[in-house]
Structure 1
Amino acid sequence: MIDFHCHLDLYQSPHAVADESQRRGVGLLSVTTTPSAWNGTARLAEGRSAIRTAIGLHPQLAGQRKHELALFDKYLASTPFVGEVGLDGSPECRTFWEDQLEIFDHVLHACSADNEKVISIHSRRAAKDVLDQLDCYEQIKTPVLHWFSGSHSQLERAIGRGCWFSVGPAMLAGAKGRDLVVGMPDDKILLETDGPFAQVRRQGLNPWDITTALGPIADLWDVTKHEAQQRIEANERALLAPIVDVL
């Protein structure tokens, strides 16, 4: 199974987490928050076949790191994976909203030249704006909305756009998160931890903790945990099939 959104480089002991994930056979998509972190983060995947690295520029850092877009463009050809990117409409991020829009549009435009890019997208308090920008780039086939928390009407719009959704134990711990997952197509759901930031019972999540999402998902789907795992793994294969260098 694969953790489709994990900040591997930001763990206290990233090499130990990478080794343990490899030992357990857990794949992970290691997302970056800044292009300048690419080289160091990508090195964590060396010699570890279960890990792939995504190039990103987190919307919460847009005001400080817009000048790194040239680095984003430089490294984009190095990976079929992009993330973490997107928009954040939280009050503390509104002061640099125009920078966020400029960066996200730049990222989508760059990715539209290669429609096989898998893009892990942040949309907290900004689902409408994220979807508005995605609608300008219909050639992008694989947007993955990470920890989606929008409204049900926005969820329906995202489904109509063909979005995928990565959900994790922390999202499933809340009633709103579970309610949204019920509305998601079960063939478009992937797993994530958002570790080390996401927590369950005040404990930070590791990549192998994705398995704890299977019980709640199985309950929502009214299937066994084994059946839920089989469906999720089928989704992983379907998403990665167009990519030659798969996890």
Structure 2
Amino acid sequence: MKLIDFHCHPDLYNDNFKMLNNANKIVFVTNLPVLFERYYPKYKDSKNNFLALGYHPELIEEYPNYFEKFKRNLYKTRFVGEIGLDNSERNKESFGKQLRIFREIMDECNKSDGKIISIHSRKAESSIFEELINNNNIYILHWYTGTLKRLLDGMMKNQNIYISVNLDMTTTKKGHDLIHSVPIDRIVLETDAPFTKESKKRYDYKILEDTITQIAKIKKSNLEDITIQIQANSKKILG
């Protein structure tokens, strides 16, 4: 099994999706339901590009009335993202709306038990973990920057909580501490392309290989063993 990119924004490249021609398996997250609808006819049957239905928390103030459209499309895919909460300074005013919509999204996902959900949680992890119930959904915390204790407590209570790690995370102290402390069987990979340093310049498989190499160094573990475990995690999530 190849390495899988669990969080990527191909539509934000100005290359008319050329980067997907050479991509291995990726979760193609969207920021609004209308974008999912736009790309669905082309990618609905793709074996490599798993199209996710998203409603990005940073866009809720500008696009507040898209939940019904989100709900109407949810049956079309197992993959949900990017969704979540953002309580950073510039998004505090919309946090109440974000929380209402996030709860509505999670209610719908729980009705259709078995979604793979990529979650944005900037400065909002205390609210996020309250909504992650034990069921058949898989929760992947994308570029997690919250408290380590809260994450590990959440993982102890819910076996279906994972983090996705990108290359930029391996270069910061906070990311290093996170990777070091989180059990390897709860880690998968992401690029968050084109938002990371390397993915701004290019999109290729080597970014994932470099990420897993850095994870092995941080874990002080054999690269082959780490690769096998992360592949196993990916396989388990995809079922």
Partner of 2:152: 156
Equivalences for residues 177-196 of structure 1 within 5 A: 177-196=175-194
Q: Look up the SS of the partner of 2:26 in the other structure.
A: strand
Partner of 1:11: 13
For the 8 Å contact 1:2–1:236, the answer to whether it is kept is yes
Q: Look up the SS of the partner of 1:180 in the other structure.
A: helix
Distance 1:184 1:39 in 2: 35
For the 8 Å contact 1:6–1:207, the answer to whether it is kept is no
Equivalences for residues 225-236 of structure 1 within 5 A: 225-236=223-234
- Measured after TM superposition, the shift of residue 45 of structure 1 is 2.5
Distance 2:16 2:217 in 1: 33
Match status 1:131 vs 2:133:
no
Change in CA separation of 1:179 and 1:115 when aligned onto 2, cut-off 3 Å = same
Is the deviation greater in 67-76 or in 208-217?
208-217
Q: Give structure 1 stretches of 5+ with no counterpart.
A: 242-247
Instruction: Tell me the amino acid that sits aligned with residue 206 of structure 1.
Output: Y
> Once superposed, which parts of structure 1, at least 4 consecutive aligned residues long, lie more than 3 Å away?
202-205
Q: Give structure 2 stretches of 5+ with no counterpart.
A: none
Instruction: Tell me the amino acid that sits aligned with residue 18 of structure 1.
Output: L
Equivalences for residues 1-247 of structure 1 within 5 A: 1-21=3-23, 26-45=24-43, 48-134=46-132, 137-139=133-135, 141-160=137-156, 161-162=158-159, 163-200=161-198, 203-204=200-201, 206=203, 208=205, 209-241=207-239
- Measured after TM superposition, the shift of residue 109 of structure 1 is 0.2
TM-score calculated relative to the size of structure 1: 0.89
TM-score calculated relative to the size of structure 2: 0.92
Is the deviation greater in 153-162 or in 42-51?
42-51
Is the deviation greater in 63-72 or in 215-224?
215-224
Is the deviation greater in 93-102 or in 151-160?
151-160
For the 8 Å contact 2:8–2:193, the answer to whether it is kept is yes
Distance 1:178 1:204 in 2: 23
Change in CA separation of 1:44 and 1:213 when aligned onto 2, cut-off 3 Å = farther
For the 8 Å contact 1:54–1:82, the answer to whether it is kept is yes
Instruction: Describe the superposition over 1:123-173 as per-residue Cα deviations: whole angstroms up to 9, x where unpaired.
Output: 011111111222xx4335311111111112112222123311111101112
Q: Look up the SS of the partner of 2:117 in the other structure.
A: strand
Change in CA separation of 1:8 and 1:98 when aligned onto 2, cut-off 3 Å = same
Instruction: Describe the superposition over 1:12-64 as per-residue Cα deviations: whole angstroms up to 9, x where unpaired.
Output: 1142111011xxxx210000100010122334536742111000100001112
For the 8 Å contact 1:86–1:130, the answer to whether it is kept is yes
Distance 1:205 1:86 in 2: 27
Change in CA separation of 1:205 and 1:125 when aligned onto 2, cut-off 3 Å = farther
Partner of 1:245: none
Instruction: Give the aligned CA root-mean-square deviation in angstroms.
Output: 1.7
